[in-house]
Amino acid sequence: MKKVLLGVLLLFSVVANADDVQVYPTHWWAGMKDTKLQLIIHADKDIAVDKLVFQSSSKDVKVVRVNKVENKHYLIVDLEIAKNAKPQKLSFSFGGILRSEWTSVDYELKARSRDNGKTRVQGVNAADFIYLLMPDRFANGDQSNDIIPGYRDNQCDRSDKFSRHGGDFRGIENHLDYFNQLGVTTLWLTPVIENDMPRMTEWGNKVAGYHGYWFTDHYSIDKRFGGNEGYKAFCNKLHERGMKVIQDAVYNHVGNHHWFVLDSPSKDWFNTSQGDKAPSHREEVFYDPYVSQQDKRQMLDGWFVPHLPDLNQRNPYVANFLIQHAVWTTEEFGIDGWRVDTYKYCEEKFMNDVNTALEREFPSITVFGESWVNTTIANAYFTRNNINAPFKHNARGMLDFQVCFAMLAGMNEKFGLLTGLGKIYNTLAGDLLYQDPMNNCIFLDNHDMDRVFSEVEEDWNKLKMGINWLLTLRGIPQIYYGTEVLMKNKKVKTDATVREDFPGGWASDKPSENRFTKAGRTDTQHAAFEYISALAGFRKSSSALTTGKTMQYVPKDSLYVYFRYDAKQTIMVVTNTGAKDTIPDWKVFTERLNGFTRAKDVVSGNIKSLSGLAAGSKNSVVYELLR
Ligand SMILES: [Ca+2]
Ligand SMILES: [Ca+2]
């Protein structure tokens, strides 16, 4: 029997011509909890021939079913992998009656990492401090990858804000000490997957895919960032430092030069019910008891822009491809958490299926979704919630736009019932809708928003209040690159203006403007960096801030006081946005102050007596209470 099999395999290897055949996932692992695997095999010739035979060389990998789709360049193969399968190399061979025309492709089941849940795939939680950066715009550590021959966009020009600028993984690696100084534990990079797109017209501008949201091949990391090997090395370096990495996922759409589009497997691979018209961006359609099905369809099937075809996640092949890719990426690179782009435009069941599949293989993985929504009801709806709705989402957390808007209001607006500090109070009271609001990621701005320093009219004292809240409110704090050195700008018919290069990230940048160093910062920029670094450093070892409870008091006369506390520690955050210094009536807060006599400013270290403690005008202080 063995001899016969060997003979057949030899024959296959003679006829094998697999260079023009791609298999996705490109490899897999032995010992996965889910023993099913669905391969998409894609060739530039017809492989879905009549009387097709498809064979696996391994007894551990059974071919359950071979599916054909409209496009004969594709086979979609359902496999069952034995539970006790060892890591191994194998091959698949397939073809019609003429054996001389058969094709053979190599495949591999690798060994899973033993470090999942320990030093990689750790999950991200409220003890972390996330730094969001755009790899193209942070630092250029390798000029040799700035232009990759063969890619459709061969421009790298820092004088053009819509072009690529050459930033890469190596550039980020060169600044790991900087993140340590700042107190950052986790890096969230905007998408790193290949965007082999030409420049496209957006808002009247010719824009490159420098931001990464236009995928063209899920299984390739963009070579301009360092490719698959560069990304693996980058993730390993972060993990060796005890840091974590969050990957940015896009399940809703792909770039229109993705192979899905250039050689589409079937007509129903993409949503076409609305043509290429945009979605309504109204998330209410998912929970509104009075919704029309047309409105829901438009949200799910609308195309963000005409060059981003909307994936039909109701097609099980599409869904499986995306789910397996998420699992593959997590195991391959050791991703600690996922940020999911455009969450509210995706099929609801599909999103739950992705999260379930990830948690099955990686129990500690975390996911937070991005839904730019206008109410806490909407935000809570897309995560594990306490809402009595017919559909229950299962994402662990969400990007918390409501807390963001509330903090912006707190810094900028006059105090009122629902304005200024009143909005923070009111927003937090809405936390009853979340099963665990500590899993939400909170932030002051991001790559799609006006930079927060410009939002507060470049007033560091105002921003300092926001930084205090960001690092002491419940949830996982995230800072956008450059905020710590007061990078500014608003969006003006483009978001490129809020995605400028980090000064000092390029060899040609002036040392006097290198913000990675004290010498390259103004006094205010340095003060901001030092302040954030001190508070983030304190936060790391603060049980009250990272795992404690919250108690807030009704704000009154521009004064807002809240506490974070547990059995070991009590933190009090006092903010006065009024025009006058005031001495609060501390008796009001006895419920939390009882037993404490002194308050230590956690940044300056100054200790004051609680009796007579003043709340300075337009100021906020984080105190640790002492007995
Ligand atoms: Ca580069
Ligand atoms: Ca969609």
- The pLDDT tens digits of the residues spanning 591-602 come to 999 999 999 999
Please list all protein residues whose beta carbon sits less than 5 angstroms from ligand 2, which is an ion. Answer: 252, 310, 345
Q: Tell me, which fold does domain 548-626 have in CATH?
A: Immunoglobulin-like (2.60.40)
Question: Alpha-carbon torsion 306, 307, 308, 312, what sign?
Answer: positive
Q: Which residues in the chain come in under a pLDDT of 50?
A: 1-16
* CA neighbours closer than 13 Å in the CB half-sphere of residue 223: 14
CATH of 130-540 given 2.60.120.10, 3.20.20.80, 3.20.20.70, 3.30.390.50: 3.20.20.80
Query: Ligand 2 mean position to 311 CA, how many Å?
Result: 6
User: What ligand has the least distance to the C-alpha of 222?
Assistant: 1
The Cβ of residue 262 has, within 10 Å, a number of other Cβ atoms equal to: 9
**Catalytically annotated residues:** 341, 370
Q: Counting runs of H as helices and runs of E as strands, what totals does the chain give?
A: 17, 26
For residue 225, which ligand has an atom nearest its CA?
1
pLDDT of residue 203: 87
CB burial string 203-225: b at 16+ within 10 A, e below: eeeebbbbbbbbbbbbbbbbbbb
Kindly report, residue by residue over 312-367, the tens digit of the pLDDT: 999 999 999 999 999 999 999 999 999 999 999 999 999 999 999 999 999 999 99
pTM of the shown model: 0.96
CA of 290 relative to ligand 2 center, distance in Å: 21
Range(s) within the chain of domains with CATH label 2.60.40.10: 2-110
Domain with CATH 3.20.20.80 in the chain: 130-540
Q: What is the pLDDT of residue 3?
A: 42
Alpha-carbon distance 291 to 300, whole Å? Answer: 13
Q: Could you give the angle at which helices 316-333 and 348-361 cross, rounded to 10 degrees? A: 30
- The whole-angstrom separation of Cα 155 and Cα 169 is 19
Q: Where in the chain is the domain with CATH 2.60.40.1180?
A: 548-626
The reported pLDDT for the residue numbered 18 is 66
Please choose, from the candidates 444, 447, 450, 429, the residue with its C-alpha nearest in 3D space to the C-alpha of residue 376.
Answer: 429
Identify the CATH homologous superfamily for domain 2-110: Immunoglobulins (2.60.40.10)
State the Cα angle at 326 between 317 and 40, rounded to 5°: 35
CA of 172 to the centre of ligand 1 (A): 11
Distance 187 CA to ligand 2 centre (A): 27
* Spacing, Cα 137 to ligand 1 middle (Å): 10
Ligand 1 center from residue 166 Cα (angstroms)? 4
Cα-to-centroid distance, 259 and ligand 1 (Å): 25
Closest ligand by atom to 344 CA: 2
Place of tokens 């369809």: 297
Residues 496-538: tens digit of each pLDDT? 999 999 999 999 999 999 999 999 999 999 999 999 999 999 9
Beta strand pairing call for 28-29 and 103-110: parallel
Which ligand lies nearest the alpha carbon of 505?
1
